[in-house]
Chains A and B, each alone.
Chain A
Amino acid sequence: MADQTAVSDREQKILGIIETARGKRAKFRDKQINMSHGAGGKATQSLIEGLLVSAFGGETLTEMGDAGAVIVDGVELAMTTDSYVVKPLRFPGGSIGELAVNGTCNDLAVSGARPVALTLSLILEEGLDAEILRQEVEAIARTALEAGVEIVGGDTKVVERGYCDGMYICTTGVGQRDARARLSPSSLRPGDRILLSGSVGEHGTAIMLARNLFDLDASIESDTCSLWPAVDALFEAVGPDLRCLRDATRGGVASVLNELARSSSVAMLVREGAVPVDPAVAGASEILGIDPMYVANEGKFVAFVAPEAAERALEVLRQVDGCEDAAEIGEVRTAPPGMVLVETSFGGRRVMDQLVGDPLPRIC
């Protein structure tokens, strides 16, 4: 058994090498952009951290929140921007116009800012049916009214047929920092509770089915909606006890948890059985071999709350329209730092890792 010790030393050393490699900021080394750079996983991270943040790297950007803080004459504002390239333009439960308003407003809301104003850029493809455009403009106007934001400026560009897919939209949002809470992605502490504002995976699944790639029929609708009412309710009830909020869009809840575990150097434990999933989404995910925790949402957020305030937060959240299924899904732990662990419903444990590429169905 003397052999055993030697092996262990070697193993220790190798694990050390891996740990060091992991801890390093992601580098951007790829020769070309491929689809995985847009999927929200490791490749996206290498693009953002390795190329963008390192090039522009101000203090605000390095925090990598959903929106950046801007202070003008003592007034705290939040700014964010997002582009929308969804295919198809219309899908069950929503359309690109609704997404373009809600998505940007939600980035402001989960950064602790009440959305105030948006600018709107439209990139239109030659040949786009004017009726489709008109419908989307109406959808944008309606959604902005509902979200309480004003469209204060914009731009239009038209490109030749084939150079864009119908229409792309970019919106930039400004919000006013809400004094009731101080949110930060590096503020998580062991013991904090992880709350989820509702069931996961609906938006991504609805889009996937709307593309008609599979002979699957299910009544699954995108969950796109404004998150401000829910955030507002939380701020009012437990503001000082809120650590951080994140909307679980591209890459799903799993990606949000991984990002925050890394930025706060904590571990997380998620109880799989506690995660609300609509039965239709669960069924579709099962057939397609996808984990709903990695599927995009457009109207759900993850909240990290001090343990003593978790119960109250959940109670308040469940009274908000669309958050009836809100649940406590786990807690923040100390070790192993940077990792998200899952207690499976079956009684085992596993690591919920960062996404490597798109969540593609398995072939067997």
Chain B
Amino acid sequence: MKYVDEYRDADLGQALAGEILSLVEPGRHYKFMEVCGGHTHSIYKYGVDDLLPANVELVHGPGCPVCVIPMGRVDDGIALAHEEGVIFTCFGDMMRVPGSDGSLLEAKAAGADIRMVYSPLDALRIAKQNPDREVVFFAIGFETTAPSTALTLKRARAEGVPNFSVMCSHVTIVPPLRALLESPDLRLDGFVGPGHVATVVGARPFEFIPADYGKPIVVAGFEPLDILHAITMILRQLGDGRCEVENQYARVVPYEGNQRALEVMAEVFELRPHFEWRGLGFISHSGLKLSQAYADLDAEVRFSVPGVRVADPKACQCGEVLKGVIKPWECKVFGTACTPERPIGTCMVSSEGACAAYYNYGRFAREREVV
């Protein structure tokens, strides 16, 4: 595939791997967090880990929009889906995320009309095709997907579709990163910055990471060469004693972001005072809700949503795993109460979460270390 294969070239990969090896200080252990679930996916898919020296460790960050949705929120969605006359729409990945008593997939089996969509516009189309039904879209995702929800809401308003509403669970990237960085026991040396989010917000919002916390961050693309390249850039910063925001993904990410997308978001959304993250707890100003001007399209206003709050089990240590303080197997519930089949925390929900990956491939990873 042209314009894709170029970024997956094995020889260039080896060359970058050699460069990384020459940049690391022997005896020093490096921990870098890739913030975005998309990066985790690429790292896993292409086996990027294999090309890194043993003393460079990648820690999977909180940037998987599906895994961070707390149980209570899933329960709320399921309650809405069971309301008389409602067609509940959501992205496919969301269907399997467990609430406190089952997932949306199971709610569908139990009779709720839940439909998988590929874009919020599909949900709007379903609303237009079913004027006698209430169609709710379960909106999730970071700033990456929020603009498409915003545009859909604007279109629903313009076309006057009365039976469409949104249950907004959009989140923003900076507050959870700040929460992680605030913790005194953080053991990270740098960040691979979220390229997709940055196409919307730009690279500038990440300036607080070097400025306030003294950690380098390189906004990176999602092909394997992008990720290796970003790691060389972080290592160079560390080697040179520099600490700044760099943009490896300049072919897509403008430093100042996408102004039009930001304007649409500002019009349609406002920040919630606080939002709960699975495994990380409540984080101030980290979630979006519909603004006053769009309140009539807010499913949480239109319906009585129970507002379920299900506390993460006390023993769950996702926060520590995310901060790189402990390894998955050091968590008290890992592999016993918390498994991929019955996950408790965010790190076990998605197959790309640190704990799920370790659960499935841990033995293999250890053998790899020995080899």
* Residue ranges of A at the interface with B (Cβ–Cβ < 8 Å): 7, 10-11, 14-15, 17-19, 21, 30-36, 42, 213-214, 279, 282-283, 286, 291, 335-336, 339, 341-351, 353, 356-358, 360-364
* A154 CB, nearest partner CB in chain B, Å: 31
Check if B360 is an interface residue, CB within 8 A of chain A: yes
By a CB distance below 8 angstroms, the chain B residues around A335 are 367
**Of B38, B45, B141, B334, the contact of A344 (CB 8 Å cutoff):** B45
A339 proximity list for chain B (CB < 8 A):
364
Q: When chains A and B are docked, how far (Å) is the Cα of A335 from the Cα of B364?
A: 9
CB <8 Å contact, B364 and A364: no
Our pick among A10, A356, A363 for the contact of B96 (Cβ within 8 Å) is: A356
With a CB–CB cut-off of 8 A, which chain B residues contact A351? 360-361, 364
CB-based contact A346/B106 at 8 Å: no
Asked if B213 is at the interface of the complex by the 8 Å CB criterion, the answer is no
Checking A31, A336, A362, A363 against B367 with a beta-carbon cut-off of 8 angstroms, the contacting residue is A336
11 new A-B contacts at CB < 8 Å, known A14-B335, A348-B51: A7-B327, A14-B329, A42-B341, A213-B118, A345-B8, A345-B10, A346-B47, A348-B49, A349-B47, A351-B364, A364-B37
Contact partners of B110 in chain A: CB under 8 A: 32
Give the residues from 38 to 84 in chain B that come closer than 8 angstroms, CB to CB, to chain A. 38, 41, 44-51, 65-66
Known: A346-B10, A353-B360. A279 touches B1 (CB 8 A): yes
A34 contact set on B, CB distance < 8 A? 105-106, 108-109
Query: A363–B334 contact, CB under 8 A?
Result: no
Given known contacts A336-B367, A339-B364, is B92 in contact with A347 (CB within 8 Å)? no
| Residue with the greatest number of chain B CB neighbours at <10 A, chosen from A343, A345, A346 | A346
Check B145 for interface membership: any CB of A closer than 8 A: yes
User: Measured between C-beta atoms, what is the minimum distance from A128 to chain B in Å?
Assistant: 23
Query: B-side interface residues toward A, CB under 8 Å?
Result: 1, 4, 8, 10, 13-14, 37-38, 41, 44-51, 65-66, 91-93, 95-96, 102, 105-106, 108-110, 116, 118, 122, 140-142, 144-145, 196, 224, 327, 329-330, 334-336, 339-341, 351, 359-364, 366-368
Contact residue among A14, A35, A350 (Cβ-Cβ distance under 8 Å from B108): A35
Residues of chain A within 8 A of B41, CB atoms compared: 362
Contact B48 A349 (CB under 8 A): no
How many angstroms from the CA of A29 to the CA of B9 in the assembled complex?
A: 45
A349 to B51, CA, bound (A): 9
Asked whether B46 lies within 8 Å of A19 as measured between CB atoms, the reply is: no
Most chain A CB within 10 A, of B41, B93, B141, is at B93
B1 near A282: Cβ-Cβ < 8 Å = yes
A18 and B92 form a contact (CB under 8 A): no
Whether B363 lies near A336 (C-beta < 8 A) is yes
| B368 interface neighbour in A15, A291, A349, A358, Cβ under 8 Å | A349
Q: Which residue of chain A has the shortest Cβ distance to B93 in the bound complex?
A: A363
Which residue of chain B has its CB nearest to the CB of A21? B339
Please state if A364 and B335 are interface contacts (CB–CB under 8 Å).
no
**Smallest Cβ-Cβ distance to B101: which chain A residue:** A31
Shortest beta-carbon contacts, A-B, top 3: A348-B47, A360-B92, A348-B50
**Chain B residue, CB-CB nearest to A353:** B360
Q: Within the complex, what minimum Cβ distance (angstroms) separates B290 from chain A? A: 20
A10 CB contacts on chain B under 8 angstroms? 329-330
* A288, closest chain B residue (CB): B118
How many angstroms between the C-alpha atoms of A181 and B144 in the bound complex? 55
Q: Which A residues touch B196, using CB under 8 A?
A: 364
Are B96 and A11 interface neighbours, CB within 8 A?
A: no
Residues A347 and B51 in contact, CB atoms below 8 Å apart: yes
* Chain B, residue nearest A30 (CB): B106
A346 touches B224 (CB 8 A): yes
| Residues in B neighbouring A42, C-beta threshold 8 A | 341
Are A344 and B47 in contact, with the CB atoms below 8 A?
Answer: yes
Given contacts A279-B1, A344-B46, is CB(A360)–CB(B109) below 8 Å? no
Cα of A336 to Cα of B364 in the assembled complex, Å: 7
Question: Is the CB–CB distance between A19 and B363 below 8 Å?
Answer: yes
A197 CB to nearest B CB, Å: 24
